[in-house]
Amino acid sequence: MQKKTFRRGIHPLHSAHEGKTSTRNLEIRDYVSDTVIISMAMNIGAPAKPVVKKGDQVLVGQVIGEAQGFMSVPVHASVSGEVLAVEQIPSLGAGPQMAVTIKNDFADNWVELHPLGSVEHVDPAKVIPAIQAAGITGMGGASFPTHVKLTFGNGKTCDTIIVNGAECETHLTADYRLMLENSTRIVDGLRAVMRALNVNNGVIAIEDNKMEAVAAMQKAVQGREGVRVQVMRTKYPQGGEKQLIEAITGRQVPSGGLPIDVHAVVLNVGTCAAIADAVIDGKPLISRITTVTGAVRKPANLRLRIGTITEDIIGECGGYAETPGKIFFGGAMTGMCLPNDQMPIFKSTNGIVVFNEKESKSKDESPCIHCGRCVAACPIGLNPYQIKVAADKSDFEAAKKLHVMDCILCGSCAYMCPSRRWLTPSFKFAKDHIAAEAKAKQAAAKGGEQK
Amino acid sequence: MSLRISTAPHVHSPVTTQRLMLYVLIALLPAAAMGVYAFGFSALLVLGLACVSCVCAEFLWQKIARQPVRVGDLSALVTGLILGLNLPPTAPWWMVVIGSFFAIMIVKQLFGGLGDNFLNPALAARAVLLASWPVHMTHYVTPTFFKAGVDAVATATPLATKGASLMELFLGQIPGTIGEVSKAAILAGLLILLVTGTVRWRIPVILVASVFCWTWVLTGSPDAALMAILSGGVLFGAVFMATDYVTSPITNFAQIVYAFLAGLIIVLIRQYGSYPEGVTYGILLMNIASPLLDRFLPQRIYGYQKEVKKA
């Protein structure tokens, strides 16, 4: 089979097998902790509104946060027990957010479930509402509400659904293990979406450093309608939505547009499995698979309840092997740093990586030598060194002209830079600034209209 | 618990500026070794003096200007070695020192230091020395290879005499600057640069090919074309000077145009110019043009595809 890929890109931690060696052969195991803290702000869009109060008894799968509008999903209790608190907790990146703390009674009492039955026989119209009701968001890390992705109006059509099993990020093996151990569920989820959208082309994309997963998925797609496995070259960011779409369909998502503009939808393998759970069993999203690795004694792939606290998870993994210098959710290329280990996991937490003090040290920037490594790395084809000059001067107009808004913040340029320049942080700063400015302008224009 | 917080990425390639400079130094070693072997102790003195002067000049500037001292990035050492290799083995000591200080202080630091100079420091220094002391700079001697009883004989560059055989040119049995004497050693250096990923193949290969083709076109003789790429500083310039990161373009297409035009200018100067110094000026002129090439020949950016392919 011809392996597909995109232009440019990098091979991070190539000599260290992308940091995946210590967990790739570990089976997924369950871990349920004593207390969970479930954030109401786990999706892009509006946070959910808590509908329980301190002292309430809740069941597993019970709605504890209601969706606020279309661009929002409900939040469910991931354990049964007593609500200890409904209060604000710090979040990653945004300000404080509401969260519900539940003391686990370990009875595992579920709410009444309403399964829709086999994905091949379910009423297609019921699939997308079920996905929203189950609180499913993109589980590859972006946490975009899945039902929003699958709902498109004004004449837009979809002809290809791509399941993202690339797992190009470093350190993570959660998707890999899921593909090995639960391959049928992934195909079920994909089929449910294909039937809901009336699409007959489903492609499961997997990098060629995961040939065991390719074999498992190939077995699982046997006899399933319109579904095939596509082997991709191992290269970062192969699992980037835009990169996958171009590699598989030859089409480019237009600048500022969405995948559906080129008739494609990309879903993570974990999202597909969650969709299958929602349709077949009627179960909401209450757990996920997370790779815990780095400076912990017993690295693991764990099935964790949403809201499990990092400290408990590290404890389950034998504790810290060394003094931690940095802990982040996700892989090393795009992961978000934690302020401390009291942070609970979210629906999007695919990995917890602990770095020791040495690995956490950052180096000072040295001058740009124009070596062009950033340009050769950029999967979008930008000139990172030029954008950096503009962004550092806060010349956002110039940054915009250099297409900073097309940057996907994959970190490839910053990884390659021999002068260790803070390229990606500068671009994030510029992008956030430009987006905020545009939003303010829009709000001002709206205000003017109303008057 | 105190945790460090930073934005992603949290890992970096082990290749640093210092390591890249080290690769260049290693790649220069075969040429330096052959130069010393061919010309003897005087060549070693010139190389050593150029290296020491460049590093001292960089250190002094950064101290005087109260900048962080970045001698450790090895870039000044690279400039020194390249400048030394660009000089004849008979260069007087004061000329080497002046050249080094000019390269570092005027060409590199006055324009902002590493990464901001618009000319290759070593090459610009060579051009200045050539204009100032043309006699010293073109006082070439025949390699002696430490043979007893053979005296160094002053000769003109083979481009002026057209006397050497191709094999002599390739192996380094002809007069010239210290670095350009052995083409085999320069190619070994190119191999090191390519294998370590320090430079990409486009600039050196296309520059040499361009010189070959244009000479063939203008003289009508393939022998003359082969002679052109093996004599003088074409190969050394193509491998070690035209590929300087700071002063060469970045995008693939811009690199191709840069190397192609540099080759053309070299041939034009050699064929029609009043003296055989094409490589220096050919590359310097294209150095100046490289920011423009980068600007007008950008990469295609994702997301601006014209039509959507059918499924």
Q: Which positions in chain B touch A12 (Cβ < 8 Å)?
A: 9, 11, 13
- CA–centroid distance for A140 within its chain: 3
Q: Which of A236, A366, A423 to mutate to test the interface with B (most CBs of B within 10 A)?
A: A366
How far apart CA A270 and CA A209 sit, in angstroms, is 19
Complex confidence, ipTM: 0.88
Q: Which residue range forms the structural domain that includes residue B154?
A: 17-296
- The string of pLDDT tens digits covering residues A313-328 is 999 999 999 999 999 9
Residue B166 lies in a domain: yes
Residue B16 contacts A where some CB pair is shorter than 8 Å: yes
Q: What is the count of residue pairs from A and B with beta carbons less than 8 Å apart? A: 169
Q: Alpha-carbon torsion A298, A325, A139, A238, what sign?
A: negative
Check residue B112 and report its DSSP letter. Answer: T
Nearest to B115 among A10, A201, A368 (CB): A368
Nearest to A420 among B12, B75, B250 (CB): B12
How far apart CA B29 and CA A445 sit, in angstroms, is 65
How far apart CA A437 and CA A445 sit, in angstroms, is 12
Residue B9: closest CA among chain A residues belongs to which residue? A333
Residue A417 contacts B where some CB pair is shorter than 8 Å: yes
Residue A356: closest CA among chain B residues belongs to which residue? B3
Closest CA to B176 of B40, B38, B46, B283: B38
Residue B83 lies in a domain: yes
Question: Looking at residue B140, which CATH number applies to its domain?
Answer: 1.10.3430
Collect contacts of A314-319 with beta carbons under 8 A, ≥24 apart: A314/A341, A314/A352, A314/A354, A316/A31, A316/A33, A316/A292, A317/A292
Strand-pair category, A336-337 with A324-329: antiparallel
Q: How far is A58 from chain B (nearest CA, A)?
A: 33
**B299–A406 CB contact, under 8 Å:** no
- The string of pLDDT tens digits covering residues A246-277 is 999 999 999 989 999 999 999 999 999 999 99
Residue A418 contacts B where some CB pair is shorter than 8 Å: yes
Q: How far is A208 from chain B (nearest CA, A)?
A: 22
- pLDDT of B221 above 90: no
Residue A306: what residue type? I
Residue entry with tokens 């092997």: A321
- The string of pLDDT tens digits covering residues A126-161 is 999 999 999 999 998 778 999 999 998 878 899 999
Residue B158 lies in a domain: yes
Residue B308 lies in a domain: no
- The string of pLDDT tens digits covering residues A369-424 is 999 999 999 999 999 999 999 998 999 999 999 999 999 999 999 999 999 999 99
How far apart CA B225 and CA B237 sit, in angstroms, is 17
> Cβ neighbours of residue B165 under 8 Å, at least 6 residues apart?
none
Residue A404: what residue type? V
Closest CA to A325 of A312, A346, A342, A340: A340
Residue B87 lies in a domain: yes
pLDDT grade, residue A442 (50/70/90)? confident
Residue B201 lies in a domain: yes
Residue B45 lies in a domain: yes
pLDDT in the model for residue B54? 96
Check residue A120 and report its DSSP letter. Answer: T
Number of folded domains in chain B?
1
**A250–B309 CB contact, under 8 Å:** yes
Q: Where are the beta strands (DSSP E) in chain B?
A: 140-141, 154-155
Residue B303 lies in a domain: no
Q: What is the DSSP string of B209-260?
A: HHHHHHHHHHH--HHHHHHHHHSTTHHHIIIIITT-TTTS--SHHHHHHHHH
State which of A188-202, A433-447, B166-180 shows the largest mean pLDDT: A188-202
Give the bridge partners for A352, in sequence order.
A292, A329
H or E, element range at A64: strand A63-66
